[in-house]
Amino acid sequence: GAVVSQHPSWVICKSGTSVKIECRSLDFQATTMFWYRQFPKQSLMLMATSNEGSKATYEQGVEKDKFLINHASLTLSTLTVTSAHPEDSSFYICSAYQADIAKNIQYFGAGTRLSVL
Amino acid sequence: AQKVTQAQTEISVVEKEDVTLDCVYETRDTTYYLFWYKQPPSGELVFLIRRNSFDEQNEISGRYSWNFQKSTSSFNFTITASQVVDSAVYFCALISMDSNYQLIWGAGTKLIIKP
């Protein structure tokens, strides 16, 4: 299957600082990437859909100024949590969608555990 | 409306037992795709299978098998001769045009395999 790399896997930061998370598709071009948030013992919650070269589409209730998404190339999307606060602590996962839409498969990164002190 | 229901929150079995994880879905679309993903304690989501709505053939991959039945809107997953390494949370998901090709997730089933 396709490989998606997500970095960092774990980050601890002080309240008020910004954190950038990278998501890379290593062996395929991803015209679309998705960012999810997962709370303990819950399913994945879609935060935003990121298309290469255009602005991300955010789900209702997700603050676009808090969670900045950039999809500058076909292999890289970044999520920046700005002015992070303890309530932003969570597990963030990205997925990349193969350009061949007929496959309809999202491949996931390993996730990033964010702890805001 | 799109919906995926995994009624089993947690299942615990002893190693080598067979176990079936249930998944029931709702969609108005005639064309859709169903998925199973595995999330081990490390957190990474591992793609297991994709099935499109026009292919009702059951599939077997090693100890894993899937039973897709459109008549009951179910896509159940069976692990035969379970192993401790199968312990994980398993998610069933749906994609269709109605969902704008976004994954609609079930709540997940936590599977515990005891040695």
pLDDT in tens, A53-107: 888 999 999 999 999 999 888 899 999 999 999 999 999 999 998 756 556 788 8
Tokens encoding A24: 């890379």
pLDDT of residue A28: 84
pLDDT of residue A61: 94
Q: In residues, how long is chain A?
A: 117
pLDDT of residue B99: 76
DSSP 8-class letter at A78: E
pLDDT of residue B16: 97
The beta-carbon neighbor of A104 closest among B50, B91, B108 is: B50
Tokens encoding B10: 């947690």
Task: Answer whether residue B3 shows pLDDT above 60.
Answer: yes
pLDDT in tens, B10-50: 999 999 999 999 999 999 999 899 999 999 998 999 999 99
> Which residues of A sit within 8 Å Cβ distance of B?
1, 34, 41-44, 46, 49, 91, 93, 95, 101, 103-111, 113
In angstroms, the CA A47 to CA A76 distance is: 17
Closest-CA distance, A20 to chain B, in angstroms, reads 19
Q: For residue B41, say if its preceding peptide bond is cis, omega within 30 degrees of 0.
A: no
Amino acid at A62: V
pLDDT of residue A11: 96
pLDDT of residue A1: 64
In angstroms, the CA B38 to CA B41 distance is: 10
- Can you say how many angstroms the Cα of residue A33 is from the centroid of all Cα atoms in its chain? 8
Query: Pairing between strand B109-114 and B88-96?
Result: antiparallel
Amino acid at A94: C
- Can you say how many angstroms the Cα of residue B51 is from the centroid of all Cα atoms in its chain? 11
Residue with tokens 């676009």: A64
In angstroms, the CA A57 to CA A47 distance is: 9
Beta-carbon separation of B101 and A113 below 8 A = no
pLDDT of residue B58: 85
pLDDT of residue A101: 52
| Whole-number percent of chain A with pLDDT over 70 | 94
